[in-house]
Chains A and B, each alone.
Chain A
Amino acid sequence: MTKLKPRLSLIGIGVFAVLLLVVAPLVLTDHWLSNLGKYCCWAIAAVGIGLAWGRGGMLVMGQGVFFALGAYSMAMHLTLETAGAGVPGFMVLYDPLAPLPAFWEPFRSAAFTLLAIVLLPVIVAGLLGYALFKRRVKGAYFAILSQALAVALATLISSTIRETGGDTGLSDFKYFFGFVLEDPANRVMVYLIAAALLVVCLLVVWQLYRSRFGELLVATRDAEERVRFLGYDPATVKLVAFVLAALMASIGGAMFVPIVGIITPAEIGAAASILMIAGVAFGGRASLFGPALGAMAVGWGQSSLGSAWPEGWTYIVGLLFIVVILFLPKGLSSLLPRFTAARRSPGEQPAAGTAAPELEAVQS
């Protein structure tokens, strides 16, 4: 069983990869392919949330912060690429003579941009996580603090119009590392990069989940003090998961920009961060595929149900939170083993959802 399962999962990732990378581009229209690309970006962030929250017990309600780091790094580069040697248009009005803000300058370089997409979230999440986990901030506190950070960042970006484009965000990108974004072939390429990155992220967590670290992470989630008494520093264990989750959110954000064509503070604030959580909860926070598939399902629901029945979709998202958390705390993915288990030995119920570890959090 323990040997079989990871192998099955690996086959699952393979099938998923073929579906995303080979079948989807052949079958889907340009519009739906770019929608799927958008869902892939959310799914990448969701895989990270699954790691941090599902396995690590850290309810990261502010992944918008890291999504923003990647997205804005990418968007600044693409804006400069589009603007050429000049200063982006939106900056001109407020001060026509002022030079490009200093923090924009390095983003002219493609290499620096790619590096920033990877390193910025690692550094920020590293410092933040170190500060919070060492002080044993966890549970609801951690969730609310992380959400407050997302709100603060979104407000900050909204109010710095000249430096960041403000509420209107950055948009109207013409090129993507030298490729013309309007060209349908290049759009397929951008999609494939996002889809491939999602597959890579799945492979990374697949290996993590079956590794000793994965076990240690679950142990830390369920009994942090106990892990401490085994000689580990839980802060370090959590930090690794948190930083990885941040990195994935950043990558998702970075790919979101060329696919969707706009990034604004609304995509990183409280509501956006919560919607990322919704997909993960829906799919199954602790499972391998649950977060990614859940995020994609929520994205798809927004596209299709949101069109057919806009008011209804808001109610559906609301009900989704209530019903899933109330009756299926492990998400839809927990139904699958439940069915197979029921078929194998009727009457034997698998262990119900456990979320007890959070209890201690409120008290510390």
Chain B
Amino acid sequence: MNALVPPLLNGTAQGALLLLAALGLSLTFGQMGVINMAHGEFLMIGAFTAYLVQQVIDSSDLSIPVALPVAFVVAGLLGLLLEVSIIRWMYRRPLDTLLVTIGVSLILQQAALQTFPAQGVPVKQPGWLDGQLTILGYSWPLRQSFTIVLAAACVAILSAWLKYTSFGRRIRATVQNRDLAETAGISTRTVDRLTFFVGSGLAGVAGVAASLIGGTNSQMGAQYIIPAFLVVAAGGIGQLKGTVIAAWAVGVALSCFAYWTTGSLAQVLALILVIVFLQVRPQGLFTVRTRSLA
């Protein structure tokens, strides 16, 4: 068995989960400039939704596919609520959105801790994800390929939605020039709300995927938020393909470091790698050149 195979495959899966967590951010942060530190808690809500769906639909074969859209809607609606109540007042103050949403994330964590059993809740894996694929002599967990497929599907749907639907075009127009879009008759308020709904909903989907990988508890969101932001930043703001590549690279780097060094050191090295990368290329992998004062 080639020593490169396990870290590459596992890293790709790890990157896919990171991508799912970052995808929503690349919308809300990349397209709208909102720094939502409660994104990790939306992910947590997606995971808890998966648990609740399993309480209703007993068969885990069925409950996870059902949980995906439900988690999308639940987390999305919560994001919408956040947008309508707080974020809308702060579009000119992006750094302040960061601080406000830290408050939101603290409250959501504590609320989850008090609502659900403190130890966390179990989310059962569908039977059709048990088993392994044998790739170059390495038996690769089937569940990992599920994460990758899910991430790929989300990216495909999102980019198609942005590209081909009129709503997607309106989002892009608003991002490029809010004032011009407004004068062109686009309701930027509706666009903001919808973008936030979709971005938060994607966190919910990521939460379902995460619930199949680790524990579902009040603290789970915290481990994704910083890496997800780094991935968006490293990919380049508002650049879907950049986010995809960055997530994959970070995932593979994490897995390779973990494979060759230790689990803790891998986390440190991966963080430092991204920080150094952003120092060398502050604008990320891909960038839109602009003529602006900034």
Q: Is the interface of A mostly helix, strand, loop or mixed?
A: helix
With a cutoff of 8 Å between Cβ atoms, the chain B residues found around residue A151 in the complex are: 226, 271
Q: Please report the total number of B residues contacting A with Cβ < 8 Å.
A: 47
A207 at the interface (CB under 8 A from B): no
Minimum distance in angstroms from B274 CB to a CB of chain A: 7
With a cutoff of 8 Å between Cβ atoms, the chain B residues found around residue A356 in the complex are: 92-93
Whether A358 touches B94, Cβ cut-off 8 Å, given contacts A151-B271, A281-B99, A311-B110, is yes
- Is A360 a contact partner of B293 (Cβ separation < 8 A)? yes
B104 at the interface (CB under 8 A from A): yes
Please report the C-alpha to C-alpha distance between residue A43 and residue B104 in the assembled complex, in whole angstroms: 24
Please report the C-alpha to C-alpha distance between residue A151 and residue B280 in the assembled complex, in whole angstroms: 20
Q: Is the interface of B mostly helix, strand, loop or mixed?
A: helix
With a cutoff of 8 Å between Cβ atoms, the chain B residues found around residue A254 in the complex are: none
Please report the C-alpha to C-alpha distance between residue A364 and residue B288 in the assembled complex, in whole angstroms: 10
With a cutoff of 8 Å between Cβ atoms, the chain B residues found around residue A329 in the complex are: 93, 96
Whether A140 touches B290, Cβ cut-off 8 Å, given contacts A148-B271, A152-B272, is no
Please report the C-alpha to C-alpha distance between residue A311 and residue B272 in the assembled complex, in whole angstroms: 35
- With CB as the reference atom, state the residue of chain B lying closest to A310: B110
B136 at the interface (CB under 8 A from A): no
A59 at the interface (CB under 8 A from B): yes
- Is B106 a contact partner of A155 (Cβ separation < 8 A)? no
- With CB as the reference atom, state the residue of chain A lying closest to B284: A141
- Is A225 a contact partner of B294 (Cβ separation < 8 A)? yes
- With CB as the reference atom, state the residue of chain A lying closest to B110: A314
Question: Which of the 9-residue segments B70-78, B199-207, B261-269 touches chain A?
Answer: B261-269
State which residues 61-115 of B face A: CB under 8 Å: 86, 89-90, 92-96, 98-100, 102-107, 109-110, 114
Minimum distance in angstroms from B55 CB to a CB of chain A: 25
- With CB as the reference atom, state the residue of chain B lying closest to A362: B33
Minimum distance in angstroms from A297 CB to a CB of chain B: 16
A106 at the interface (CB under 8 A from B): no
Please report the C-alpha to C-alpha distance between residue A277 and residue B95 in the assembled complex, in whole angstroms: 12
Please report the C-alpha to C-alpha distance between residue A281 and residue B294 in the assembled complex, in whole angstroms: 25
**The one of A137, A225, A321 that contacts B278, using a Cβ cutoff of 8 Å:** A137
Minimum distance in angstroms from A320 CB to a CB of chain B: 7
Please report the C-alpha to C-alpha distance between residue A278 and residue B98 in the assembled complex, in whole angstroms: 12
Minimum distance in angstroms from A35 CB to a CB of chain B: 22
| A274-288 near B? 1/0 per residue, CB < 8 Å | 100110010000000
Please report the C-alpha to C-alpha distance between residue A151 and residue B265 in the assembled complex, in whole angstroms: 12
The residue in A139, A140, A159, A329 that gathers the most chain B C-beta atoms within 10 A of its C-beta is A140
Minimum distance in angstroms from A306 CB to a CB of chain B: 13
- Is A317 a contact partner of B106 (Cβ separation < 8 A)? yes
With a cutoff of 8 Å between Cβ atoms, the chain A residues found around residue B158 in the complex are: none
Question: Which of the 9-residue segments A8-16, A128-136, A256-264 touches chain B?
Answer: A128-136
Minimum distance in angstroms from B188 CB to a CB of chain A: 16
- Is B229 a contact partner of A152 (Cβ separation < 8 A)? no
Please report the C-alpha to C-alpha distance between residue A363 and residue B268 in the assembled complex, in whole angstroms: 28
- Is B103 a contact partner of A148 (Cβ separation < 8 A)? no
| A340-359 near B? 1/0 per residue, CB < 8 Å | 00000000000001011011
Q: Please report the total number of A residues contacting B with Cβ < 8 Å.
A: 49
With a cutoff of 8 Å between Cβ atoms, the chain B residues found around residue A110 in the complex are: none
Please report the C-alpha to C-alpha distance between residue A137 and residue B279 in the assembled complex, in whole angstroms: 7
Whether A141 touches B272, Cβ cut-off 8 Å, given contacts A156-B264, A225-B294, A363-B290, is no
A119 at the interface (CB under 8 A from B): no
Please report the C-alpha to C-alpha distance between residue A139 and residue B98 in the assembled complex, in whole angstroms: 11
With a cutoff of 8 Å between Cβ atoms, the chain B residues found around residue A317 in the complex are: 103, 106
- Is A360 a contact partner of B292 (Cβ separation < 8 A)? yes
With a cutoff of 8 Å between Cβ atoms, the chain B residues found around residue A156 in the complex are: 264-265, 268
- Is A321 a contact partner of B271 (Cβ separation < 8 A)? no
Please report the C-alpha to C-alpha distance between residue A156 and residue B263 in the assembled complex, in whole angstroms: 11
Minimum distance in angstroms from B142 CB to a CB of chain A: 30
- Is B96 a contact partner of A322 (Cβ separation < 8 A)? no
Residue positions of A touching B, CB distance < 8 A: 59, 131-132, 135-137, 139-141, 143-145, 147-149, 151-152, 155-156, 158-159, 225, 270, 274, 277-278, 281, 311, 314-315, 317-322, 325-326, 329, 353, 355-356, 358-364
**Given known contacts A159-B264, A361-B294, A363-B292, what 16 new A-B pairs fall within 8 Å (CB)?**
A132-B279, A144-B233, A148-B229, A151-B271, A152-B272, A270-B222, A270-B226, A315-B107, A318-B103, A318-B110, A322-B104, A326-B86, A353-B93, A358-B96, A359-B92, A360-B294
Closest 5 A/B residue pairs (Cβ): A321-B103, A159-B264, A360-B294, A318-B107, A318-B106
